[in-house]
């Protein structure tokens, strides 16, 4: 199965900018941006981010406020704050032996950086990789990571897999199966996430009086460290 998968990937691999580097910082940026955000939206933002802050030290020397402003539009803004904190940790102490020690870095992200940057023989298992392995009934080697991600994103789709063009179809026990629709993420329009995003945009534009903001959204943003309040004035963190 692995040989067939890798042969398919040699022809069908997606050309993504973070696949052209082994720089752990650049790969960390891409992985954090890709959390719950579509690839097409991430590509231009990834390039712009690295043009502005090409190294962990460059990001560490910036303010948290600048990182949060640069993140606007990608959603889940706490990711920007965690990435900035991780950059400061890396700039001060280097890369930790256990990458999950970095702020905001969970098991998958740690494994992705370990695999794609440091060449460790660990398979990062995201949603696409997990789906392919479960349907194929096989655990693949780390060398198949990018191929599994591409297969899951373009062929072995969540609801209606494209078995007719899958390189694993002849030996896949799930071939031809259809799946129930996955529960979609809750709507952004009218949600509390939207209220938070609106309040954060206002503060990112310039400091605001507390009473100018949605009180519940403000308290949630402050609890996450995305805003600070002094003498009744709300601003982004330094």
Quick one: pLDDT at residue 183? 60
Q: Are residues 84 and 103 in the same domain?
A: yes
Interval 213-238 mean pLDDT: 91
Helix axes 24-34 and 78-93, enclosed angle (nearest 10): 160
Q: Are residues 33 and 104 in the same domain?
A: yes
- As a whole number, the mean pLDDT across the chain is 94
Domain total of the chain: 3
The domain boundary, picked from 74, 93, 116, lies at 116
Are the C-beta atoms of 87 and 56 separated by less than 8 Å?
Answer: yes
pLDDT at residue 187 greater than cutoff 90: no
Q: Are residues 31 and 95 in the same domain?
A: yes
| Catalytic choice (31, 120, 134, 189) | 31
pTM equals 0.90
Q: Tell me which residue range forms the domain holding 106.
A: 23-116
Nearest to 135 by CA among 174, 166, 161, 179: 174
Quick one: pLDDT at residue 31? 97
Assign 189 a pLDDT band (cuts: 50, 70, 90): confident
Interval 144-154 mean pLDDT: 97
Q: Are residues 126 and 8 in the same domain?
A: yes
pLDDT at residue 164 greater than cutoff 70: yes
Q: Are residues 34 and 103 in the same domain?
A: yes
Q: What is the CATH number of the domain that holds 175?
A: 1.10.1670.10
Q: Are residues 108 and 85 in the same domain?
A: yes
Assign 191 a pLDDT band (cuts: 50, 70, 90): confident
Q: Is residue 83 domain-resident? A: yes
Q: What is the CATH number of the domain that holds 98?
A: 1.10.340.30
Nearest to 224 by CA among 78, 80, 96, 87: 78
Instruction: List pLDDT tens digits, range 21-70.
Output: 999 999 999 999 999 899 999 999 999 999 999 999 999 999 999 999 99
Q: Is residue 126 domain-resident? A: yes
Instruction: List pLDDT tens digits, range 90-148.
Output: 999 999 999 999 999 999 999 999 999 999 999 999 999 999 999 999 999 999 999 99
Q: Is residue 224 domain-resident? A: yes
Quick one: pLDDT at residue 193? 84
Q: Are residues 58 and 109 in the same domain?
A: yes
The domain boundary, picked from 184, 206, 223, lies at 184
Quick one: pLDDT at residue 192? 87
pLDDT at residue 184 greater than cutoff 90: no
Q: Is residue 18 domain-resident? A: no
Quick one: pLDDT at residue 66? 97
Quick one: pLDDT at residue 182? 59
> How many residues can be counted in the chain?
238
Instruction: List pLDDT tens digits, range 212-222.
Output: 998 999 999 99
Percent of the chain with pLDDT over 90: 86
Quick one: pLDDT at residue 194? 87
Alpha carbon distance 24, 116 (integer Å): 8
Active-site annotation holds for 31: yes
The domain boundary, picked from 60, 85, 116, lies at 116
Interval 147-176 mean pLDDT: 95
Q: How many CB atoms lie within 10 A of CB 110?
A: 21
Q: Are residues 204 and 175 in the same domain?
A: no
């Amino acid at each position: 199965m692995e040989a067939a998968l890798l042969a398919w990937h040699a022809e069908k691999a997606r050309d993504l900018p973070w696949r052209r580097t082994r720089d752990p910082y650049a790969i960390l940026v891409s992985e954090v941006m890709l959390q719950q955000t579509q690839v097409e939206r991430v590509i231009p933002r990834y390039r712009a981010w690295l043009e502005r802050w090409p190294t962990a030290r460059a990001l560490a020397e910036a303010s948290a406020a600048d990182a949060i402003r640069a993140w606007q539009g990608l959603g889940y803004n706490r990711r920007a704050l965690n990435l900035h904190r991780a950059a400061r940790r890396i700039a001060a102490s280097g890369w930790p032996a256990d990458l999950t020690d970095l702020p905001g870095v969970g098991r998958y992200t740690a494994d992705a950086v370990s695999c794609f940057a440091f060449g460790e023989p660990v398979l990062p298992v995201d949603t696409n990789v997990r789906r392919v392995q479960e349907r194929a009934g096989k655990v693949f080697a780390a060398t198949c990571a990018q191929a599994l991600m591409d297969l899951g994103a373009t062929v072995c789709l969540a609801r209606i897999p494209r078995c007719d063009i899958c390189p694993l179809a002849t030996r896949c026990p799930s071939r031809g199966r259809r799946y129930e629709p996955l529960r979609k993420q809750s709507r952004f329009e009218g949600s509390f996430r939207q209220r938070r995003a609106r309040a954060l945009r206002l503060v990112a534009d310039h400091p605001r009086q507390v009473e100018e903001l949605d009180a519940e959204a403000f308290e949630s943003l402050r609890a996450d460290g995305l805003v600070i309040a002094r003498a009744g004035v709300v601003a982004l963190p330094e």
